[in-house]
């Protein structure tokens, strides 16, 4: 028997299977996914690797095949099913197999399991008293003390007992040898949330919830495994629906994974799952220690967990009989990994579910264009919740045209309308959130007088201001000079948008000196609990106004907030990528969802220089379907995902000239591949951030109608890169259907 092994060294040249023979002492001890130690390379250096398959025969000379040295005892094995998933990820997203294997392995090293020891008295009362007399008679005081204590209370915790009675471990061992007592050991696997009370289901489902649950359960019982898109407005009761679906599959002896964006993985959410499933719930997040993470995997291995909640990486929870994967807020960009392999949790979840016979439920109040497209195509099954479960109303939304403000002579970043409403709310002692939309902000240039934004004539995305007064298209490399007069209206108010949250905080404090103001952005949340502290202070009404970036619009419930102001809604709209309208729509919709969560109702003011843009108009009207129709037309027209497929090839190197030349060669190579014109190749071009850590960057985009053509192109490019030494000093990464954050 031979084992196919992937060596634990990340290098394109070593990205292949190496065969080793299995010595008889290891027979039956290795499985797919086991980490082993093998001699490797010319010097036969001890190197680690993972078994990914076994074979009876080999194509090499059996006499020359080396032998596996042994098992890596300290390591966790990768579940066989996840090895298959890793292979799928490598195939779909590029990178090496070892990178893919490490991605699906949640904990690499074994940790020590803590143990609880208890001491049990083995004698009955009569025999115990007789023995006690013997000890007293022989003046064996420590033994007598211990036995007397146990006669009082025959089962006691070891540590407490030794302390309370002042006896040593030696004394306990002596009595154990004399068969007077026994010590029992029990593994203490920590549960990261210290809460076990089960409250069960406490609500009556709405008709819409019933229908969604019924569809899922009937399909499931009929053996149909599908991907569902649960499209339900905020507060429509999606979480309750997930929990019921999970309960149903748990009853069938299966397990569920629930993915939640890390930022929304709050105590409140987790508590709802604990209330329903008790301590058969586990969480994985970045705050757990290695020991706590290991304990969770051990609990899973011992069948003590039915539901795992966590961010993207929890997708790789090694359940033995996975029945359902839920992805809440599926539109979040956090589900796309920025490390090789650059996988998307949504696609990867569907792949895993298909391999293991599970279903997938994607939930969202504003589905990603990608998921909604697939639902319309029939690839996903659509389930809808159109009403709020508790019947609250949605907030009223107004847009303010900031160009008009400038005409009236108001040059401030706060419109008159918003100012009046803030004053009103302060008087009523209600709370206000001001949201500065800086997401995806990439230095676009616009006119504050007429709203004109400088865009690429070829790609219909905004140009980014680069060093030296250049405006550059991030997709095709088109360049033009920065202008100082607006080409549309001739005004001089053309330039980049400069205000940050700190300037806004200062301005607000000057305008409303009586108000208490909190600010939440990367700066103020650097400390460990910075985030929670600010949110808790605001929730306690320690401040009237909360100013922040997109961090403040995600999922937090503040019933006393009755006004939300969105400053410069356009900032994300003119970021330089094809998803900017989608992201803007989502942020505005989420921001609107923050107002009026309580009984008082709420208002939202969206300040914009482009009130005519469809993503702003549709967000103001809270019209998702209308937005989707316009957006999908744009994607289709311009050849962007999800209608077409897009592959970004990122290249970086420390020498600019060399990098540019290599990028040119790689592009020429792809053009030669493209005789049948299945690909559209764009670039190479410098991305918005041209240099990171002293490495220059170049990008090539490839568009195609079908994903499989992009995979073919990627495979051939990988071969070409490996064969040509000119690429050796460069870092090259593939990014399928990239998402910017």
Quick one: 240 or 577, whose CB is closer to ligand ADP?
Answer: 240
CB of 66 to ligand ADP, least distance (A): 55
For residue 486, say whether it is annotated as part of any ligand binding site.
yes
Q: 202 vs 240, 244, 311, 492, CA distance in Å?
A: 10, 11, 27, 61
Q: Which residues contact 715 (CB under 8 A, 6 or more apart)?
A: none
Q: What are phi and psi of 442, to 5 degrees?
A: -130, 45
Q: Taking CB within 5 to 8 Å according to partner kind, which of Zn ion, ligand ADP, none is near residue 489? A: Zn ion
The closest of 524, 503, 497 to 442, measured between CA atoms, is 497
Over its C-alpha atoms, the chain yields an Rg (Å, rounded) of 31
Contact 318, 297 (CB under 8 A): yes
Is 473 part of any known ligand binding site?
yes
β-strand pairing of 561-567 with 431-436: parallel
Half-sphere exposure of 317 (CA within 13 A, CB side): 38
Residue in 123, 362, 402, 447 binding Zn ion, rule: CB under 5 A: 447
**Binding segment toward Zn ion, per CB under 5 A, in 229-237, 342-350, 450-458, 602-610:** 450-458
Residue 459: phi and psi, rounded to 5, are: -115, -10
Name the one residue in this structure whose structure tokens are 């154990």.
176
476 has binding-site annotation: yes
Query: Residue 123's CB: how many other CB atoms inside 10 A?
Result: 20
Residues 6/49, Cβ–Cβ less than 8 Å: yes
- Which is closer to Zn ion, CB of 459 or CB of 520? 459
Give the nearer residue to ligand ADP in terms of CB position, either 198 or 224.
Answer: 198
Site string for Zn ion, 480-509 (x = CB under 5 A): ------x-xx-x------------------
Helix locations, 639-691, DSSP H: 656-673
Q: Is 489 annotated as a binding residue?
A: yes
Contact of residue 240 among Zn ion, ligand ADP, none (CB under 5-8 Å per partner type): ligand ADP
Helix (H, G, I), strand (E, B) or coil at 346: helix
Nearer to Zn ion, 220 or 475 (CB): 475
Residue nearest to ligand ADP according to CB distances in the complex: 237
Name the binder of 486 from Zn ion, ligand ADP, none, CB < 5-8 A by kind: Zn ion
Calculated CA dihedral for residues 515, 503, 536, 592, nearest 10 degrees: 90
Cβ proximity to Zn ion: between 12 and 488 the closer is 488
User: Which lies closer to Zn ion via its Cβ, residue 86 or residue 456?
Assistant: 456
Q: How far is the CB of 458 from Zn ion (least distance, A)?
A: 4
Q: What phi and psi, each to the nearest 5 degrees, are found at residue 405?
A: -60, -45
Smallest separation, CB 230 to ligand ADP (Å) = 9
Q: Does 458 bind Zn ion (CB under 5 A)?
A: yes
Binding residue for Zn ion, selected from 452, 497, 696, 727, defined by CB under 5 A: 452
459 labelled ligand-binding? yes
Gap between the Cα atoms of 34 and 239, Å rounded: 37
Contact 69, 39 (CB under 8 A): yes
Between 219 and 488, name the residue whose CB sits nearer to Zn ion. Answer: 488
Q: Considering the complex, what minimum distance in angstroms separates the CB of residue 554 from ligand ADP?
A: 12
DSSP 27-52: TTT--TT-EEEEEETTTTEEEEEEEE
Note whether 475 binds Zn ion by CB under 5 A: yes
Binding Zn ion by CB under 5 A: which of 193, 450, 483, 716?
450
- Rounded Cα–Cα distance for residues 423 and 47 (Å): 68
Give burial (CB, 10 Å; 0-12/13-18/19+) of 108.
Answer: middle
Applying CB under 5 A, which of residues 260, 456, 592, 659 lies at the interface with Zn ion?
Answer: 456
Name the site residues for ligand ADP (rule: CB under 6 A): 203-206, 209, 232, 234-240, 389-390
**Contact present, 486 and 478 (Cβ < 8 Å):** no
Closest approach, Cβ 581 to ligand ADP, in A, equals 24
List of residues 6+ apart from 573 with CB closer than 8 A: 580, 581, 584, 610, 613, 615, 616
Q: Can residue 680 be called a binding residue for Zn ion (CB under 5 A)?
A: no
Q: Which does 473 bind (CB under 5 to 8 A by kind): ligand ADP, Zn ion, none?
A: Zn ion
Q: How far is the CB of 476 from Zn ion (least distance, A)?
A: 3
| Nearer of residues 145 and 211 to ligand ADP, judged by Cβ | 211
Nearer to ligand ADP, 211 or 470 (CB): 211
Give me 498's structure tokens. Answer: 């400069």
User: Whole-number minimum distance, CB 371 to ligand ADP, in Å?
Assistant: 16
Say how far residue 265 (Cα) sits from the centre of its chain.
10
Contact stretch for Zn ion (CB under 5 A) within 64-72, 211-219, 365-373, 471-479: 471-479
Nearer to ligand ADP, 372 or 475 (CB): 372
Which residue stretch of 64-72, 401-409, 442-450, 731-739 sits at the interface with Zn ion (rule: CB under 5 A)? 442-450
Cβ proximity to ligand ADP: between 203 and 522 the closer is 203
Residue 681 sits in the site that holds Zn ion (CB under 5 A): no
How distant, in Å, are the alpha carbons of 232, 362, 603 from that of 387? 8, 18, 19
475 binds, among ligand ADP, Zn ion, none (CB under 5 to 8 A by kind): Zn ion
**Cis preceding linkage at 611, omega within 30:** no
Alpha-carbon span 239 to 307, nearest angstrom: 14
Please give the annotated binding residues for Zn(2+), written as ranges.
447, 450, 456, 459, 473, 476, 486, 489
Please give the annotated binding residues, written as ranges.
447, 450, 456, 459, 473, 476, 486, 489
Q: Which residues form the interface with Zn ion (CB under 5 A)? A: 447, 449-450, 452, 456, 458-459, 473, 475-476, 478, 486, 488-489, 491
């Amino acid at each position: 028997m031979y084992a196919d092994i992937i060596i634990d060294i990340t290098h394109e040249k070593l990205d292949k299977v190496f065969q080793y023979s299995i010595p008889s002492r290891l027979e039956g001890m290795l499985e797919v996914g086991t980490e082993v130690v093998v001699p490797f390379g010319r010097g036969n250096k001890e190197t680690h690797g993972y078994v990914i398959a076994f074979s009876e025969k080999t194509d090499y000379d059996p006499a020359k095949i080396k032998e596996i040295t042994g098992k890596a005892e300290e390591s966790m094995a990768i579940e066989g099913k996840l090895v298959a998933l890793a292979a799928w990820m490598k195939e779909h997203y590029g990178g090496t197999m070892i990178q893919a294997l490490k991605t699906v392995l949640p904990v690499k090293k074994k940790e020590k399991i803590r143990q609880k020891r208890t001491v049990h008295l083995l004698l009955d009362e009569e025999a115990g008293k007789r023995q006690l007399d013997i000890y007293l008679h022989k003046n064996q005081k420590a033994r007598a003390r211990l036995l007397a204590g146990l006669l009082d209370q025959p089962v006691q915790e070891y540590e407490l007992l030794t302390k309370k009675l002042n006896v040593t471990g030696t004394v306990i061992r002596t009595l154990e040898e004399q068969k007077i007592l026994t010590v029992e050991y029990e593994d203490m696997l920590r549960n990261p949330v210290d809460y076990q009370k089960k409250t069960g289901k406490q609500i009556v489902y709405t008709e819409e919830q019933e229908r969604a649950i019924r569809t899922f359960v009937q399909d499931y019982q009929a053996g149909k495994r599908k991907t569902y898109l649960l499209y339900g407005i905020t507060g429509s009761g999606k979480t309750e629906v997930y929990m019921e679906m999970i309960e149903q599959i748990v009853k069938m002896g299966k397990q569920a994974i629930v993915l939640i964006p890390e930022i929304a993985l709050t105590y409140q959410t987790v508590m709802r799952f604990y209330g329903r499933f008790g301590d058969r719930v586990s969480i994985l997040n970045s705050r757990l220690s290695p020991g706590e993470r290991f304990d969770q995997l051990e609990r899973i291995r011992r069948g003590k967990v039915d539901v795992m909640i966590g961010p993207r990486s929890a997708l790789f929870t090694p359940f033995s009989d996975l029945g359902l994967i839920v992805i809440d807020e599926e539109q979040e960009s956090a589900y796309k990994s920025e490390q090789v392999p650059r996988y998307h949790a949504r696609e990867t979840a569907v792949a895993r579910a298909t391999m293991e016979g599970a279903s997938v439920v994607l939930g969202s109040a504003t589905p990603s264009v990608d998921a909604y497209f697939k639902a319309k195509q029939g690839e996903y099954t659509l389930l809808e919740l159109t009403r709020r479960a508790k019947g609250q109303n949605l907030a009223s939304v107004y847009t303010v045209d900031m160009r008009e403000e400038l005409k009236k002579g108001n040059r401030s970043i706060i419109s008159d309308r918003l100012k009046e409403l803030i004053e009103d709310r302060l008087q009523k002692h209600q709370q206000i959130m001001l949201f500065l939309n800086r997401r995806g902000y990439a230095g676009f240039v616009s006119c504050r007088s007429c709203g004109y934004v400088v865009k690429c004539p070829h790609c219909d995305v905004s140009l980014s201001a680069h060093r030296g007064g250049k405006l550059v298209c991030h997709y095709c490399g088109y360049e033009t000079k920065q202008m100082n007069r607006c080409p549309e209206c001739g005004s001089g108010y053309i330039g980049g948008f400069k205000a940050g949250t700190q300037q806004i905080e200062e301005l607000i404090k000057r305008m409303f000196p009586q108000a208490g103001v909190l600010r939440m952005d990367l700066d103020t949340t650097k400390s460990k609990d910075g985030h929670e502290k600010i949110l808790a202070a605001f929730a306690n009404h320690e401040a009237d106004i909360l100013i922040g970036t997109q961090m403040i619009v995600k999922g937090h419930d503040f019933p006393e907030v009755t006004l939300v102001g969105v400053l410069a809604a356009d900032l994300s709209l003119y970021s330089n990528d094809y998803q900017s309208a989608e992201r803007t729509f989502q942020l505005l919709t989420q921001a609107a969802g923050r107002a009026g969560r309580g009984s008082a109702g709420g208002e939202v003011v969206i300040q914009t220089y482009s009130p005519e843009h469809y993503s702003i108009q549709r967000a103001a009207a809270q019209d998702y379907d209308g937005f989707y129709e316009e957006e999908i037309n744009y994607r289709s027209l311009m050849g962007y995902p999800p209608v077409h497929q897009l592959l970004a090839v990122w290249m970086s190197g420390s020498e600019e000239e060399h990098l540019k030349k290599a990028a040119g060669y790689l592009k020429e190579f792809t053009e030669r591949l493209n005789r049948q014109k299945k690909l559209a190749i764009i670039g190479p071009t410098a991305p918005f951030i041209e240099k990171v850590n002293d490495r220059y960057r170049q990008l090539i985009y490839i568009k195609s109608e079908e994903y499989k053509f992009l995979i073919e192109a990627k495979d051939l490019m990988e071969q070409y890169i490996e064969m040509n030494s000119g690429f050796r000093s460069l870092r090259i990464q593939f990014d399928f259907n990239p998402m910017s954050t």
